[in-house]
Amino acid sequence: GLPEIYDVGMLTDIGMKQLQGIGQFFKQQYLSIPGFPDKFNSSQFLFYSTYTDRTKQSQFAFVNGLFPPGTGPVDDEGQFVFDFGIQPIPQESVSEINEFYMLASEYCPIAKKSYQQYWASDEIKELILM
């Protein structure tokens, strides 16, 4: 069974670490492209999850890998504004009625194929098995 600290449907520490690793992978793949910012900008990024605690935790872990501690805003004296240099990143949750928008791979054959290829890639398999 699950350790007592986890309720049914909660993200485990292993799951959090895996999602953080996937965020780091995305950072390496996409935020290293010239013109992509390495710091959060609300006009360029928007993160959604469902209302369940597990998906909110998943979103937080992924975003923490994408924009890790030590990359946050600094004040006029060059000191991080927040402890550990975290970036305050707004995270949105969608109502159950709008969840189908987040499931493009279920409704679009092209997105479904891309989704399947992504999850079958060696890089993602390696991240998941960390």
Cα 105 to the center of its chain, rounded Å: 18
Cα 24 to the center of its chain, rounded Å: 9
Beta strands in 1-130 (DSSP E): 47-49, 91-93
Comparing CA positions, the residue from 64, 50, 56 lying closest to residue 11 is: 56
Range ranked top by mean pLDDT from 7-11, 17-21, 112-116? 17-21
Angle between helices 13-30 and 53-66 (to 10 degrees): 40
Global pTM?
0.67
Residue 103, pLDDT score: 59
pLDDT band at 75 (very low <50, low <70, confident <90, very high): very high
